Amino acid sequence: MHTRSLLLALGLSTLPGLAAAQQLSIATGGTGGAYYPLGGGLAELINKQVEGANAVAEVTGASVENMGLIWRGDSDIAFALADTVHQAYSGTGDFEGRQLDNIRALASVYPNAVQLVTLADSGVESLDDLRGKRVSVGAPGSGTELNARALLEANGISYDDFRPQRLNFNETADAIRDGDIDAGFWSVGPPTSSILNLAATRDIRLIGLSEEEIANAQEAEPVFAAYELRAGMYEGMEEGVQTVGIPNVLAVSSEMDEELAYRITQLLFEHTDELIAVHPAANDTTVEFSIDSTPISFHPGALRYYEEVDAEVQDHQRR
């Protein structure tokens, strides 16, 4: 149950001392990405550190679906890509005409990397080579699909130019392994388990982007940033690969209790080592990255934490 709804059902308007029992749903993504393990790690932190809290990570369709879950009060905390969060918050893009004005941020927790993977002998070596091929663009409504479409369209490639398949991370890896598709997109914190597992059983290639392709993507989607997938990240990857990255935001409803939002934000930055032990993407979970990357207003509880640690919060992050 949504935190606010639970409080009202208990006849409370706040969480005095955070003593009341709380059931918190953390919306993540598929089990093959970074959201689910990090969500599980965050749930463990909350359960250990916030008295009376019972947080559970839920498998979802990821970013776009997660914004609806927060807006409707079906989830309390959600991971989502920054462009999806900004579109939901501002009523643009996929959320044109349906602004979700109760969306707030606790933090940006790490950058995703758009990873385009194929088998080493597929003959696919560039974005242009995807024309006419069978390509997974991510689960329906996921941040991966939003990113893949934006990257492709910015470089003159539409869904009409290839055969799009809407598969989640594990399905994409299996389809590449079995030869059912020619290539697939991931937009996730690297390294990701489904690509690691694929690379352990097949020779793979990660498709790099040219400087022009990266510039085109950034012009179309300003939250994109140049990002290098380092050599050795996946088995057989002998050189670094240039791509684009995008921040991941931890979002909540504006109705979340301020003290609870403060405590969760505090946990993120003061127990980061426990999240790193769950997934290496959390190495980027820092106050500096969060302030530099978060595209929407922080929840007042999160804002209180940032002000306590003297972070230079940007104007657009206050509301």
Q: 3-110+249-317 adopts what CATH topology?
A: D-Maltodextrin-Binding Protein; domain 2 (3.40.190)
Residue 311: is its pLDDT beyond 50?
yes
Average pLDDT of span 61-73: 95
Please tell me the distance from the alpha carbon of residue 236 to that of residue 63, in angstroms, as a whole number.
Answer: 30
What per-residue string of b and e applies to 73-95 under the rule 16 or more CB within 10 Å gives b? Answer: bbbbbbbbbbbbbbbbbbeeebb
Q: Comparing 3-110+249-317 with 112-246, is the CATH topology the same?
A: yes
What per-residue string of b and e applies to 246-267 under the rule 16 or more CB within 10 Å gives b? Answer: bbbbbbbbebbbebbbbbbbbb
Domain boundaries of the chain, sorted by first residue: 3-110+249-317, 112-246
Unique residue bearing structure tokens 């696919």: 124
Average pLDDT of span 155-171: 97
Residue 83 pLDDT = 86
Please tell me the distance from the alpha carbon of residue 80 to that of residue 68, in angstroms, as a whole number.
Answer: 11
Q: What is the pLDDT of residues 172-187, one digit of tens each?
A: 999 999 999 999 999 9
Q: Where residue 20 falls among pLDDT bands split at 50, 70, 90?
A: low
Q: 112-246 adopts what CATH topology?
A: D-Maltodextrin-Binding Protein; domain 2 (3.40.190)
Q: Where residue 8 falls among pLDDT bands split at 50, 70, 90?
A: very low
Q: What does the angle CA 117 – CA 120 – CA 126 come to, to the nearest 5 degrees?
A: 55
Q: What is the pLDDT of residues 278-292, one digit of tens each?
A: 998 898 899 998 998
Q: Where residue 2 falls among pLDDT bands split at 50, 70, 90?
A: low
Torsion of CA 160, 166, 169, 171, to 10 degrees: -110
Among 20-24, 108-112, 119-123, 142-146, the minimum mean pLDDT is found in 20-24
Residue 11: is its pLDDT beyond 50?
no
Q: Where residue 69 falls among pLDDT bands split at 50, 70, 90?
A: very high
Residues 6+ apart with CB under 8 A from 171: 136
Average pLDDT of span 233-254: 94
Kindly tell me the sign of the dihedral angle through the C-alpha atoms of 147, 148, 151, 152. Answer: negative
Q: Which amino acid is at 106?
A: L
Q: Where residue 227 falls among pLDDT bands split at 50, 70, 90?
A: confident
